[in-house]
Structure 1
């Protein structure tokens, strides 16, 4: 597989009649069909004055049209996929911040984005779905001339996403054609994807994980992506049975919801075997990894990704090489190192900040010199994650630097506490968080979702934790919840959880 440096070049390698984009109960879109769609789309955009470097906001439901629109529009313009669930003021912020030249929205789809675009004078272009999965045509917009028409080049920006700022204003991350295709090729290589592979996508397609790992990596290998309407634990096994994917990729909260239904779907799992399962975008508890692997009789490949790296940075390898539960694997894309606070690169076994550099890493946040000064040191991008390499070169994350709980003079890694609590037989999910404390600064809290039909008290869990953890790491407060609050992409919300739940020390 030769590495393509543009999305158009990446698509060129797919075999003409093979399915590229699939969806339940729809005919497939072949590679020939997808390439022709990309050419028509770029020509249609050029005819309304939109070309390379111009930003097209995309507001579409999850599904094959969203995947195809991302790929086709990115061949000749800059895509800016937005969460269709945003409220009016959020669309106002994003469309303004992005300086969008057009809004692509599905025909007949009601959304506050339409009114916002009209108010801001952003042309609305309607996407009209075709018969095959992902096939579409564009309607609307005023005739115009694109300043830079034709197919995008390697250094053109293919995709802009905002970072999920937990506290600060979200930052714009521009990713070039070369960035996203390098990342897609790394993922395809790590997972040994071939044209025979098909990924069942349950991730939102306004998120880097769904766009690059599920969609672009599949296409980089000449395989197919099966586009569902989004994650649904009740429908997952039906899709597995009907579509027979070879793999799927998801965030830990989704895997845990699937795991809860695995037992009653054993026949489907046996009938529709997976080559592997992939987990990324948050830390997968070691116990969940073991349980998933046993339930599906397949390896669970945990990877480590972030938007600024066009998704993948490290990944556990496929068998026969070992997957290490609780570790995010070997560098799998960029160079990865551990840096001390003073900028020195630390030796194996020492804890510090995870830093990266390489062809898939953004060159910097847009129009944000202050953020860039903090984020880059000697050409290395600082991830904000703390970790260390073990003796075999696998990366172990010890926490987000800003999520570490500082209790008195001690630092507590929430990930370590999550891992211990998750090993209790009654616990389905655990999330450790800081509770503001007047004397200590912070106290340790834990939110727990119990397994169906099991119960457990706060006292029992604290006693269990005390057997495995130093006293200062044992949660002082344990709350039982039906589910843990999540962000739009399925990530658990650790920062600010105490305030959200109204818990004080």
Structure 2
């Protein structure tokens, strides 16, 4: 196994496509803090670590302490995109280790770690190729297409759907800076990009940057990933760019398991499409399959599902049940056959025995004028340890935050926008400078976006 922690995105993209032909690749974030670099390398036990030439990053220091060989990588000037030189900068006993993974394993991806210790997910060549081809077929991606990659390449969405899917379909792939919306906008205006699959947070930034309707003749569709957009957000994207927004459901462990198709295929805003070559069942608390339209926990099995974590058999026992993988999502299937995500099993709010999905509250909060993001969460009260209370945390993030909506109006707006009887605490993020539209969560709550939820973890919010 070769661990790859190189900052240059073009070189990383080339390595991601080429190196698994000879070795298992473990892509890592180049800017990881020292506190996480050492433990992660110790768990991976790679034969070597690739880093930027001359860099003294946390990865190099951790590799030296663990006795792992170091390979230095340097992009080649005036060469085709992605060309790089590498050399063995530090030999170590790790080079003599026997392989720990089967040759069929192409990558070991790490989860973002927002729910605890990052999980290590081996992905086989077969899984990656199967998922890429299935998604490309449903979205008609081929050699005439050109996509842009803005997502982190060490995460499964960036590696698999944003990079490998179009590359394996024969399309051209442009590697842009991570989350560089301005560069993406320029490439769109140049008429080069036909589609993009990127994080839902970047999609929100695209809408925020476009103050009026724009049309790009080359653009065919947008695919939000790493989280869900609300129906109104999808509507704004489609009206702004004049192309369909096609959503799907995916995890690091499974790849894409549902995906909407392009017109004239039916497409419901807020839904996540139909199964993509896999079996999906929804089970209730009793362990039985729920009726159509009812909420149940997602179970999936199919050729794109991984076989188990690298170093956590105890977790394997929790997430697999009779050969079905349990990603921890709650969903319902409508009459149209499309899956609709309701929330995460660990985030459901229990209000006197009534189960409330915070995702529905999130969507309603984002409908408020001036609100950039919102989250519903359970609140501990004297009446019930997990009873949900209607409270608003307007202005708590920053004293300079301003909004034209009062607390009472916010409560009424959300109450009217979701099923009656659902009460929950709310945290709204609003612009603190109306001219720039800038906004942020309180520093105490600021975290990377969770894979399928709001841009702040619910468990860190005030109760």
TM-score range, shorter chain: 0.7 to 0.9
Shift of the 231–297 alpha-carbon distance from structure 1 to 2, 3 Å rule, reads same
Match of 2:440 among 480, 483, 486: 483
Q: Pick which of 94-103 and 109-118 moved more.
A: 109-118
Mapped to 1, the partners of 2:18 and 2:429 lie a distance apart of 45
**1:400-445, Cα deviation, whole Å (9 max, x unpaired):** 0011122332221111112222233433322223334454233356
Mapped to 2, the partners of 1:157 and 1:436 lie a distance apart of 45
Mapped to 2, the partners of 1:116 and 1:172 lie a distance apart of 18
Counterpart secondary structure, 1:435: coil
Q: Indicate the residue corresponding to 2:418 in structure 1.
A: 469
Counterpart secondary structure, 2:179: coil
- Is this contact kept in 2: 1:129–1:136, CA < 8 A? yes
Mapped to 2, the partners of 1:293 and 1:493 lie a distance apart of 25
Confirm or deny that 1:233 pairs with 2:177. Answer: no
Match of 1:220 among 136, 161, 168: 168
Counterpart secondary structure, 1:301: coil
Q: Indicate the residue corresponding to 1:30 in structure 2.
A: none
Shift of the 237–164 alpha-carbon distance from structure 1 to 2, 3 Å rule, reads closer
Confirm or deny that 1:71 pairs with 2:8. Answer: no
Counterpart secondary structure, 2:256: strand
- Is this contact kept in 2: 1:128–1:139, CA < 8 A? no
Deviation of residue 448 (structure 1)?
Answer: 7.8
**1:78-125, Cα deviation, whole Å (9 max, x unpaired):** 111112221111101110111121111122344121111111111111
Q: Indicate the residue corresponding to 2:435 in structure 1.
A: none
Q: Indicate the residue corresponding to 2:64 in structure 1.
A: 118
Counterpart secondary structure, 1:317: coil
Q: Indicate the residue corresponding to 1:7 in structure 2.
A: none
Match of 2:201 among 233, 243, 253: 253
Deviation of residue 189 (structure 1)?
Answer: 1.2
Deviation of residue 300 (structure 1)?
Answer: 0.4
Q: Pick which of 89-98 and 232-241 moved more.
A: 232-241
- Tell me the TM-score normalised to structure 1 length: 0.80
Which structure is higher in RCO with an 8 Å CA cutoff and minimum separation 6? 1
CA RMSD between the two structures: 2.7
Deviation of residue 285 (structure 1)?
Answer: 1.1
Instruction: Identify, as 1 or 2, the structure richer in helix.
Output: 1
Shift of the 193–470 alpha-carbon distance from structure 1 to 2, 3 Å rule, reads closer
Shift of the 162–146 alpha-carbon distance from structure 1 to 2, 3 Å rule, reads closer
Q: Indicate the residue corresponding to 2:240 in structure 1.
A: 295
- Is this contact kept in 2: 1:204–1:230, CA < 8 A? yes
Counterpart secondary structure, 2:232: helix
Shift of the 289–425 alpha-carbon distance from structure 1 to 2, 3 Å rule, reads same
Confirm or deny that 1:102 pairs with 2:48. Answer: yes
**1:317-372, Cα deviation, whole Å (9 max, x unpaired):** 11111221111111124222212344433343232111111111011122322211
Confirm or deny that 1:407 pairs with 2:351. Answer: yes
Q: Indicate the residue corresponding to 1:456 in structure 2.
A: 405
- Is this contact kept in 2: 1:458–1:478, CA < 8 A? no
Shift of the 324–406 alpha-carbon distance from structure 1 to 2, 3 Å rule, reads same
- Tell me the TM-score normalised to structure 2 length: 0.87
Counterpart secondary structure, 2:378: strand
Counterpart secondary structure, 1:465: helix
Mapped to 2, the partners of 1:351 and 1:457 lie a distance apart of 33
Mapped to 2, the partners of 1:374 and 1:427 lie a distance apart of 38
Q: Pick which of 321-330 and 453-462 moved more.
A: 453-462
- Is this contact kept in 2: 1:405–1:412, CA < 8 A? yes
Deviation of residue 224 (structure 1)?
Answer: 1.5
Q: Indicate the residue corresponding to 1:332 in structure 2.
A: 276
Match of 1:85 among 27, 31, 50: 31
Structure 2: runs of 5 or more not aligned: 431-438
- Is this contact kept in 1: 2:279–2:300, CA < 8 A? yes
Shift of the 136–346 alpha-carbon distance from structure 1 to 2, 3 Å rule, reads same
Shift of the 325–412 alpha-carbon distance from structure 1 to 2, 3 Å rule, reads same
* Within-5 A mapping of 1:5-84: 55-61=1-7, 63-84=9-30
Deviation of residue 146 (structure 1)?
Answer: 8.8
Structure 1: runs of 5 or more not aligned: 1-54
Shift of the 435–225 alpha-carbon distance from structure 1 to 2, 3 Å rule, reads farther
Mapped to 2, the partners of 1:128 and 1:389 lie a distance apart of 49
- Is this contact kept in 1: 2:114–2:450, CA < 8 A? no
Q: Indicate the residue corresponding to 1:305 in structure 2.
A: 250
Q: Indicate the residue corresponding to 1:9 in structure 2.
A: none
Shift of the 410–489 alpha-carbon distance from structure 1 to 2, 3 Å rule, reads closer
Confirm or deny that 1:416 pairs with 2:354. Answer: no
Q: Indicate the residue corresponding to 2:135 in structure 1.
A: 187
Q: Indicate the residue corresponding to 1:357 in structure 2.
A: 301
- Is this contact kept in 1: 2:25–2:107, CA < 8 A? yes
